[in-house]
Amino acid sequence: MAKSTPPFKMEGLDHLVIRCVDLDAMRHFYCDLLGCTVDRHNTEVDLLQLRAGRQLIDLITVDGVLGRKGGAAPGSEGRNLDHFAIRIDHFDDAALHDYIAENNIEIVEEGPRYGAEGTGPSVYLRDPEGNIVELKGPPDPA
Amino acid sequence: MSTNAPFTVKGLDHVVIRCSELQPMLHFYCDILGCTVEDKDLDLGLYQVRVGRNLIDIAPIDEKMGSQGGAAPGKDGHNMDHFAIQVEPYDDDAIRAYLTEQGVELGTTAIRGGAEGEGPAIYIRDPEGNTVELKGPPDPAYN
């Protein structure tokens, strides 16, 4: 029997949507500290869309129009997203550590990791709501 | 306000989803949606699935990485509401027919905003209850 194949090809991620409690704290982290920018703020559905390079990180509050549909706020366990990774243009280990320390951001772990473009340096941070965000440098030929 | 971060954000690289049962997830993302398993880290319990230029990684909760997050994700209280994958081409009738034949739970189709503009998109649900948006190219009529 011929197996059906999908009538489309997967091109890549477009956006992800994080449910949060404190939108201002999240916006500060992703914009002021990581350098994302506000792309659009749809106040009708309480959706804040942040530009993260070629993709978007969207934030919705758990008491907002969209966020309410997902029930309770995320707890310390039972999360569906373990972490996500953001590709950064270059990875200057010393400058990155200074910057992270200056801004009192928690480092969860770090080291070379395999990502979409190969193995390269990564540092794992925790955002204000406990989500783990991996900052991933370019693949290292070594 | 501009940041003085010593880097510039280029884009998403991957997402890591925690799951209770690996095989149905691999069937969904690979056999149905057409992704491929690119790498497996059996020590960590991390299954890396290629989705175009990015990866969707799957971490079963009974293996090392997934177990660090404690209990399995429930029906609510998710930290990720949904995520979206760009697909090409986007033929809504063909997509709905194909996914229905594969037994996938379908949601609504609508013109929705994404990283590249407004375009057609359908919400579907993976075997663990995560909402996945399949997003077509931006439609000039809406941008």
CB of A79 within 8 Å of a chain B CB? The answer is yes
pLDDT at B114: 95
The pLDDT score that the predictor gives to residue B91 is: 97
**B54-60 and B9-19: which strand pairing?**
parallel
For residue A83, the distance in angstroms to the closest alpha carbon of chain B comes to 5
**Chain-wide mean pLDDT for chain A?**
95
Residue B86 CA to residue A14 CA, distance in Å, equals 6
Question: Can you give the pTM of this predicted structure?
Answer: 0.95
pLDDT at A1 over 50: no
What pLDDT is stored for residue B140 in this prediction? 87
Closest CB from B10, B50, B135 relative to A89: B10
User: Which segments in chain B show pLDDT lower than 70?
Assistant: 1-2
Residue B3 has a pLDDT of 77
What are the tens digits of pLDDT across the range B22-52?
999 999 999 999 999 999 999 999 999 999 9
Separation in Å, CA of A141 to nearest CA in chain B = 18
| Cα separation values, B107 from A6, A126, B104, B122, B123, Å | 17, 32, 10, 6, 5
pLDDT beyond 90 at A52: yes
Return the pLDDT at A54: 97
Q: Which of residues 45-64 of B touch A (CB under 8 A)?
A: 48, 50-57, 59
Main-chain phi, psi angles of B140, to 5 degrees: -55, -25
Q: Calculate the average pLDDT of chain B.
A: 95
Q: What confidence category does residue A3 fall into, taking pLDDT thresholds of 50, 70 and 90?
A: low
